[in-house]
Structure 1
Amino acid sequence: MGSPADAPAPPPDGARNGPAVSRGEFDALFERVRTWGRWAPADRGAWNRVTADHVRRAGALVRTGTVVPMGRPWDTVPGPDNTRPALHYMSDLGDVEAPEPAAHKDFIGADYHGKAVSHLDALSHMAYRGRFYGGGTARDLVGAGGARFGEVAALGPLVTRGVLLDLPTVLGSPWLEPGQAVHAADLTAAEEAHGVTIGEGDAVLLRTGRFRRRREAGAWDPGASSAGLHAHAVPLLAERGIALLGGDGDSDVRPSPVEGLHSPVHTLAIAAMGVPLLDNLDLEELSAACAGAGRYAFLFVVAPLNIPGGTGSPVNPVAVL
């Protein structure tokens, strides 16, 4: 794919993440992809699409038994992309006199809805114009004790077909530059290049090369500038009937192309379509595994923590080829 020095100079931000979208245009997009009232239970959203048949078909994709994890290392180091570092400390060093064997214990904690921890966003994570997926009022459904609708505990595990869309390999670059938007035409080009078609119940993973760029060019603030989907690309995913969307960023191109809205893809996926999101996955190993196997569809498994009232969960999803 070439070295960073070989990568073309990025175009200006306006050329990368346009076209601009007005709030009126965005609201029309929201109505176009909205699936409110389609499923019960509603707070599982698009995960209701995945049936036992989907699971069996996904299992048939396992050929070599190669298992590829996607969760990032627990990141306790502050940086421009980790403004709220995770916590890890020892709570028991086994140095207190006690019966054998000695026990060693530790504590972990994280404000994980950020740019560092690999995590899943449940349906309670996003409300648009004050309403959650399905129309419930966020003011009434979330309080100090957590969410009473769309909690991560309602989701349970997901086992389905995963599809990797490896945009840098398709576009012939080591990574997408921060601020570069992915459009519907890019998604279909990736399908054609990879010999795969996104289908109902799929978990779609978008690789932009973020963590390769981070390793080779250094960390930056992805909240200000990151590669990701343009809002106009979302209807294609809605038409295909996906169950889950994830990536090595947070799926949104930043700066946002939508006037006055910081996370339009989050809004469309979670609040309109009922599609949970996976953020901050390290897809570098999966990219190499798919290229080596010559296929970009696989068995995909994610099991969020069972947190009553939680708006999401740290996760370590796995692909099995």
Structure 2
Amino acid sequence: MAPPVSGYKLNNNGIPNFEDLPLRPTDPHYSAWGLYGEKDELGTLNRLTDERVAAAAKDEIKTGRRISLNWPLDAQPQQSFFSRHVFTQSLIRKSPRVVNDDVWTFNSQVSTQWDGLRHYAYQREERFYNGVTMEDIHGVNDEDGGKKTTVNGIHAWAEQGIVGRGVLVDYHSWRLAQPAADLKPYDPFKSDAIPLEHLQACLAAQKTEVKFGDILFIRSGFTATYPQKTDAELSAYRAVVPHHFGGVERSEAMLRWIWEHFSAVAGDQPSFESWPAPPDSPHILHEVLLSGWGCPIGELFDLEKLAAYCEAQKRWSFFVVSEPCNVPGGVASPPNILAIF
């Protein structure tokens, strides 16, 4: 675990300025280890204070309309990207009673997911959030009778959930409305990057204000495009290793924007940032967000119905309720998420 850290100043939002990262010069780039204590497992979810959540509920819940953001667990029925175990269901007759049970088996990242703090480490330093090692994760806790450790597990997020004000950046709709000559090509199935300036232009066009502690959702067009692909096309994409996906740009400016505003980030694509990352890139968002800040990354969120409703209402902010599965030591989880208007 990272030792306590001191000597930094907090700004008006109660966090260090981006320029002060890392908090200790010996820690990995941009990291905020120790900000919430050496044993913290919530990271940027600490920004979702009771007061902030209550204010979001008061301001955002007006009609009671609820929209699920969960892609079906079997949305990739035969094969999945990243060779993850697809969803299977065993339906069991409980004869002679007229009763059924079922058993589900699936990789926690095969459909809509929150990436947890055990998922992706700083690759060079081989450290997860707050300095946790692979040995810490795969070891046993001698103080708990030799049970497997649960450090940085997804269960820590289940206690209070990921709940607060959400904002949708409907980049896909915004992009389709722009003159083609003004934009570079963007394909969700290529390593194309979404510039920060485009996300900000989309927010401005929507007249959507971002508030500190918001939960960010970006509709890139992946789940809108996926159903249009044939099985042969999808197999061809999966055959390319590493896979290629569009996503937000990997830049210091993007990192600064996320640090200064959000408690969690999510998108409809398989990788939140464009993928694959160049070798030795200092701006791999998975490293910094998950292992540097403890910031949840959501992927494969189904934002189609949400985008349609936001457009109809001319309102792209809402209340978010997400309850990750309570799996001690879990790496990731379906979000079980609703947007409430």
* Fold match by TM threshold 0.5: yes
**Contact 1:305/1:313 (<8 A) preserved:** yes
- Residue 71 of structure 1 aligns with an amino acid whose one-letter code is N
Q: What is the CA deviation profile of residues 142-183 of structure 1, one whole-angstrom value per residue up to 9, with x for unaligned ones?
A: 348765321111112121000111111222269941222112
- Residue 199 of structure 1 aligns with an amino acid whose one-letter code is K
Provide the residue aligned with 2:258 in structure 1.
237
For the pair 1:165 / 2:165, whether they are aligned, the reply is no
Match of 2:276 among 235, 250, 255: 255
Note the 1:1-321 alignment, pairs <5 A: 33-40=30-37, 42-60=40-58, 61-75=60-74, 77-79=77-79, 81=81, 83=83, 84-90=85-91, 92-94=92-94, 96-98=95-97, 102-113=98-109, 116-128=110-122, 129-143=125-139, 147-156=149-158, 157-172=161-176, 176-177=186-187, 178=189, 179-218=191-230, 220=234, 221=237, 224-232=243-251, 233-240=254-261, 242-249=262-269, 250-256=271-277, 258-260=278-280, 264-321=284-341
1:138 CA displacement: 2.7
**Contact 1:71/1:317 (<8 A) preserved:** yes
Change (3 A) 1:210 1:74: same
**Contact 1:180/1:253 (<8 A) preserved:** yes
SS in 2 for 1:124: coil
Q: What is the CA deviation profile of residues 203-247 of structure 1, one whole-angstrom value per residue up to 9, with x for unaligned ones?
A: 10111111111112346337612111121122211122x111111
Provide the residue aligned with 2:6 in structure 1.
none
Higher mean C-alpha deviation, range 79-88 or range 66-75: 79-88
TM-score by length of 2: 0.76
1:312 CA displacement: 1.5
Counterpart-to-counterpart distance in 2, 1:297 and 1:142: 40
1:271 CA displacement: 0.8
SS in 2 for 1:289: helix
1:46 CA displacement: 0.7
**Contact 2:162/2:322 (<8 A) preserved:** yes
- Identity across matched positions, percent: 23
Change (3 A) 1:135 1:312: same
Higher mean C-alpha deviation, range 202-211 or range 139-148: 139-148
1:31 CA displacement: 5.6
1:266 CA displacement: 1.2
Q: What is the CA deviation profile of residues 10-62 of structure 1, one whole-angstrom value per residue up to 9, with x for unaligned ones?
A: xxxxxxxxxxxxxxxxxx9x966422111145111111111112111221211
TM-score by length of 1: 0.81
Counterpart-to-counterpart distance in 2, 1:97 and 1:36: 57
SS in 2 for 1:243: strand
Counterpart-to-counterpart distance in 1, 2:282 and 2:255: 16
**Contact 2:69/2:303 (<8 A) preserved:** yes
Higher mean C-alpha deviation, range 278-287 or range 178-187: 178-187
Counterpart-to-counterpart distance in 2, 1:180 and 1:207: 14
1:260 CA displacement: 4.4
Change (3 A) 1:184 1:152: same
**What runs of 5+ residues in structure 2 fail to find an aligned partner?**
1-24, 141-146, 179-184
Counterpart-to-counterpart distance in 1, 2:299 and 2:54: 26
**What runs of 5+ residues in structure 1 fail to find an aligned partner?**
1-27
Change (3 A) 1:243 1:147: farther
Counterpart-to-counterpart distance in 2, 1:162 and 1:291: 15
Change (3 A) 1:196 1:31: farther
Counterpart-to-counterpart distance in 2, 1:262 and 1:70: 31
1:190 CA displacement: 1.9
**Contact 1:47/1:158 (<8 A) preserved:** yes
**Contact 2:136/2:151 (<8 A) preserved:** no
Change (3 A) 1:121 1:181: same
- Residue 87 of structure 1 aligns with an amino acid whose one-letter code is T
- Residue 150 of structure 2 aligns with an amino acid whose one-letter code is R
Question: What is the count of residue pairs matched by the alignment?
Answer: 284
Change (3 A) 1:176 1:54: farther
Higher mean C-alpha deviation, range 68-77 or range 42-51: 68-77
- Residue 50 of structure 2 aligns with an amino acid whose one-letter code is A
Q: Could you say what the CA RMSD is over the residues aligned between the two structures, in angstroms?
A: 2.6
